[in-house]
Structure 1
Amino acid sequence: MSLTHARGRPKRSVTYMRNRPRRWPSRPADRHKAEARTGRLFTAPAMLLLLIFLLIPIALALSLGFTDAKLSSPQPARWVGLSNFEQLLSLKQVTLDEARVRELAGMDGTVRTALRSLTKNGSGTPYEGLSVLSDSIAADGKSGSFWLAGDPMFWKSLRNTAVFALVVVPVQGGLGLLLALLVNSKFRGRVFFRTVFFLPVVMSMVVVSILWAFLYEKDGLINTAIKAVFPSWEPIAFLAEPSTALAAIIAMSIWQAVGFHMIIWLAGLQTIPAELYEAAKMDGAGAWRTFTAVTWPGLRHTFVFVLVTITIAALGLFTQINVMTKGGPLDSTSTLVYQAFTEGYGKQRIGYASAISFVFFVLVLCVALIQRRLTREKDA
């Protein structure tokens, strides 16, 4: 009898040795490989979804941007190279003095006549095919300065998108923080106010846009309320005036989404330990000092999240424009996303719309990277 049997240990069969469960590797190198395999297994579904719904659409949009593809054209798409991007991004300035105007349009010609001869197809000038984006013409019409673009609508849409984001991001974020500080205080009815402030968030943006379009009418509730306070007020149709249309959409957008960011700020406030506030109170810190020394540092990660989410939502402005103004009046509310939509589904220029979409994607990516870089420096 062997020593193993003498000690009373049962003899293990060959079948048991083959089917026994595998143990986790004991060597660090083997254990690291096993962890890597497990990690790849768990991330595989997410990576597959990203590949199907993100990377492939981006690659497809980029490839279509180099073609003249039409949505319902029987003709196959043709490769046009960088022409879509050249038309989209072309921006030049030209100044015409009286001598240049006389050379192009004759003695009796105006600066606009000279400009048309300079930009017409076949002129052979660097400004061929460009359109006027903005101008500054002398009173006599004999000289002037012009900004010319291959697609003026793109630059107008870019400007409107930038203005919307530059206003909405700080105002909506700051107002959401202010509301969060208010409803975070201990007073009766705070749950009611939290619900009231958050209620617009759960409403559909389409419904909100339709309701506010009625409010902005010349005989709407807003004009009626202003006239009740200021009897000399002349009612205006806010969405029909180029000077007020974008501001009206900005106000409505802030009202609709501020409740969501209030909840985010509120969640961040409730993670700050109460002991820090007690210590600040014992040190004699006032309200502002407590905010700058305790509250704001504790909200640093919340601030990054709110900043990124508001920026991405602001740059992707579409629903309000599509429902309320259709990009008007006089293109004063057109945005990049709305222009891509109208080019792709209105004019059925899928190739050109794909070029706009890809440029928009690059712009948003650059903004996000810049924000990330700035917030990382602050964290450091």
Structure 2
Amino acid sequence: MQTLSGTDEIKEIENGGITTPLGFFAAGTHAGLRYSKKDLGIIYSDVSANSAAVYTVNHFQAPPLQVTQQSIEVEGKLQAIVVNSACANACTGERGYQDALKMRSLTAEKFNLKDHLVAVASTGVIGEFLPMEKIQSGIEQISVGQTIKHTEDFQTAILTTDTVMKSCCFSAEINGKKVTIGGAAKGSGMIHPNMATMLAFLTTDAAIPQPYLYSALKEVTDVTFNQITVDGDTSTNDMVIVMANGKAGNDLLTPEHPEWKVFKQLLKLCCEGLAKQVAKDGEGATKLIDVIVEGAATNEEARIVAKQVVGSNLVKTAVFGADANWGRIIGAIGQCPVSLNPQMVDIAIGSIQILKNSEPQLFSNEKATEYLKNDVINIFINLNNGVGKGQAWGCDLSYDYVKINANYRT
């Protein structure tokens, strides 16, 4: 466990995850949707939890998301989430919708819950039907627990083209009670959230009313998950879900609570940690790109510029090739629907000043190339047009991205 710089009351819990908050269990199993890897996972709370979610804005929203929305709308609570990989159950019509309902009812039956206390998520190939006999068998055989293995089994079961598991966990003292939030996510390609196949699951033992949980999630998502991009494509299945079961025993958290900001920071740190892991694990990626924008007219305009730059294929390929071609950065900035003075822009790659007041600066190409060989690349932009700040994360674009997606179904 380590204390975060600048947030002394918040601690990062190493090896923590979705089962670290009180009352949460998880599991993952091989149901046979994939050849040998785990492909079905469940998160379970031993009491019903106030819950909220944000969803993809893709017009072809997959049936699992529709079913999850229906579940949460009943009373704003969930007690279990069932997730499968290998098949997105998207663009599958009425049969796909009924299959998602069946996944929900099978999970509810297993834990003796009402159907609406179960959320459903799927990820994988679009346009294929779920093998429901295998899904049913997997749900029946799965056994949840709270060990690191149970957590990692879940994290593994939700992956598709991901190369690593993605998780994080933070805690803070609120009202003298230890409040913890844990998260797990998957996502590697088709990532351009606007709420890839990106799924994120957050658990917390905080006591917080559902409306405030939703508003906090929506606000935090806008500056974390919605600020990453791998390939500019928004999936049919993107979803972020948070469950808060209240077992920490703190006073109810509302915006009027003196430690509301602490909880918001907990949530932001967890979402940002997962978002950056997704961006870093982009299909075929070799580097994480972190773009920080200052001096914009508003925070929203700063975020627009940051995401435009990190999403530019020309910027991404330049980073992959360790080429300090700053013209690609300025070109991306110039496309943005924001207010700026073209004579006042500053750009730096790492500590190397490239542009000052929109005028080229002398710099060593050799040093810039050496810097661009690092695993994490920071690009700093100052528009000198206000006090707005924003940040976005992405990855480079490599030869392997094409190979992976050219053979995705084979």
TM-score bucket (shorter structure): under 0.3
**TM-score, length-normalised on structure 2?**
0.21
Larger Rg belongs to: 1
User: More relative contact order in 1 or in 2 (CA 8 Å, sep 6+)?
Assistant: 1
Normalising to structure 1: TM-score of the pair? 0.22
- Looking at secondary structure, tell me which structure has more helix per residue: 1
